[in-house]
Amino acid sequence: MVENFAILPCNGLDKCAGVISRELAIRLSEQADNKIICPVFYRVSETKYNKLAAERPLFVIDGCQTRCASKLAAEKNLKIARRIIVADEAKNRHMELTDSLRITEREAALIDLLIHTLHEESWNHPAALTGSPGSTDRSEGLIDRLFDVGNKSDTDLRIPAEDLDASFDFDYETIQNGKFIFRIPKNRDIFFNENDCWARVSGNRARIGVTDYVQQNLSDILYFYPPEVGDEIDQFGELGTIESSKAVFELVSPFSGKVIAINEKLEKNPELINENPYELGWIAEIELTDPEGDKELLIGFEKYFEITKKKVEDANVK
Amino acid sequence: MSETTFMGVERSLIDWKPVIDYRKCDYCMECVRFCPHKVFEVREDEEIKLIIKNPHNCVVFCRACSKLCGPDALSFPDKNITTQRIKEIRKEMEGHG
């Protein structure tokens, strides 16, 4: 079972997903040593929960995509160790949530399923109990999203033999607007799409990330929701999401291919994307399916620089 | 502030915009607050209080508003179909170029 977490749930009084979040939090706290942070009281008075939040990893249960609990965590400068969005979990299981604000049989079934999945995974993967990265295998489902990236074996996470880091140097051009500096790499093996994602190609692989334009606009990045290793991604398909307190950004993959690695450092330190989205803050690596075909719809440094300059001027980001 | 072209294609030729499911929308207006491109417009005094005012301001392939939508009331076209259409238009342009 999930243990030793501080649980910050959606309070759930106006949506079915919220009611489920609340009940799930209560069940998790009843079954193990987990402590609930009441979001309503926490908003008006931090004192009661400061110690708890400082001592335990934070498990956020959002009801719906509004992500009130995640936003509250951001307001309080809390780092989210684990998160679940109930509406997503229901959708993944093809369960439609109703308007009910009561836990009926239907809602109870989903809660049982979520709890059961947590228990089952925990029995198999004790390293997941405290949320600390272990060396267990990955499998599909809720637990993967709760306990995912760090649970992969070193073999799964290895960087391809021709270590991309070793051969990567970046030569930047910058655009400045007020205090904001937007770096854009000029290297010829880097391609961009018009959704502000970059890809650096090396043989039949590419490392992918977001540009400075994205990280500057999102401001402090708080959460990284990675793709799964092994996922087949279409060109312009979703390659994970990153979130700040301001917004959610979906990574639009410049290339099609299979995900072969993700940047596991981002799980615990998503702020690396803010520090440098091209180097330590890269997102994923993919094995390319159709690099030449995909390049037809991508742009190089000159064009991306021109587009970004115009966007910065238009948006007047200051 | 909208781009006039996307991937070299006139933006108005690309069908990419959110569609509002009014059966689900609860008019929380989170999408309006979020979208910096003024795609949405609020109509407080009308029965339908939220409309897609500027569809061509919507950044092609961006679905961020739908990811923030609590009642899951926003949907977008299929990305693959949109990509194919962009490729077709580009080919047509080459033919005319």
| Whole-number pLDDT of residue A148 | 33
Residue-wise pLDDT tens digits, B6-48: 999 999 999 999 999 999 999 999 999 989 899 999 999 999 9
| Mutation site, B83, B90, B94, interface A, largest A CB count within 10 A | B83
- Nearest chain A alpha carbon to B72: A65
Residues 6+ apart with CB under 8 A from A250: A238, A240, A241, B62, B63, B64, B67
B97 pLDDT band, cuts 50/70/90, is low
What number does CATH give the domain B5-96? 3.30.70.20
| Whole-number pLDDT of residue A222 | 87
Contacts of B7 in chain A (CB under 8 A): 194, 297
Rounded average pLDDT over A140-161: 37
- Nearest chain A alpha carbon to B7: A297
Q: Quote the tokens at residue A215.
A: 């990280």
Tell the residue number behind the tokens 């803010």, with chain if given: A274
* Residue B17: strand, helix, or coil: coil
Residue-wise pLDDT tens digits, A104-144: 888 999 999 998 887 666 544 333 434 433 333 333 333 33
Residue-wise pLDDT tens digits, A37-95: 999 999 888 889 999 999 999 999 999 988 899 989 988 989 888 889 999 899 888 88
Please give the Cα distance from B61 to B17 (Å, whole number): 9
DSSP assignment of chain A equals ---S-EEEE---SSSHHHHHHHHHHHHHHHHSS-EEPPHHHHHH--HHHHHHHHHS-EEEEESSTT-HHHHHHHHTTPPEEEEEEHHHHHHHTT----S--S--HHHHHHHHHHHHHHHHHHHH-GGGTTS---SPPP-SSHHHHHH-GGGS-HHHHPPPSS-HHHH----EEEEEETTEEEEEE--TTEEE-TTSEEEEEETTEEEEEE-HHHHHHH-SEEEEEPPPTT-EE-TT-EEEEEEESS-EEEEE-SS-EEEEEE-THHHH-TTHHHH-TTTTT--EEEEES-HHHHHTT-B-HHHHHHHHHHHHHHHT--
Distances (CA, A) of B70 to A85, A87, B26: 11, 9, 9
In DSSP terms, A205 is beta-bridged to: A202, A287
Domains and CATH numbers, chain A: 6-153 (no CATH), 164-315 (2.40.50.100)
| Whole-number pLDDT of residue A167 | 54
The reply to whether residue A307 touches residue B86, judged by beta carbons under 8 angstroms, is: no
Rounded average pLDDT over A136-158: 35
- Among B13-17, B49-53, B54-58, B65-69, the range scoring the smallest mean pLDDT is B65-69
| Whole-number pLDDT of residue A131 | 41
The reply to whether residue A65 touches residue B86, judged by beta carbons under 8 angstroms, is: no
Residue-wise pLDDT tens digits, A212-221: 999 999 988 9
| Whole-number pLDDT of residue A179 | 85
Q: Quote the tokens at residue A148.
A: 């995912």
Asked whether the predicted pLDDT for residue A150 surpasses 70, the reply is no
Question: Which residues between 15 and 74 in chain B have a beta carbon less than 8 angstroms from any beta carbon of chain A?
Answer: 28, 30, 34, 36, 59-64, 66-72
Residues 6+ apart with CB under 8 A from A18: A10, A11, A12, A63, A64, A86
| Whole-number pLDDT of residue A316 | 65
ipTM at complex level: 0.89
Residue A65 has its nearest CB partner, among B67, B79, B90, at B67
Rounded average pLDDT over A7-23: 91
Contacts of A313 in chain B (CB under 8 A): none
Please give the Cα distance from A238 to A284 (Å, whole number): 12
| Whole-number pLDDT of residue A152 | 38
Provide the greatest CA pair distance for chain A: 59
| Whole-number pLDDT of residue A26 | 95
Residue-wise pLDDT tens digits, A242-299: 998 878 899 999 999 999 999 999 988 899 999 999 999 999 999 999 999 999 999 9
- DSSP class of residue B59 equals P
Q: Quote the tokens at residue A39.
A: 């979001």
| Mutation site, B23, B61, B63, interface A, largest A CB count within 10 A | B61
| Whole-number pLDDT of residue A210 | 97
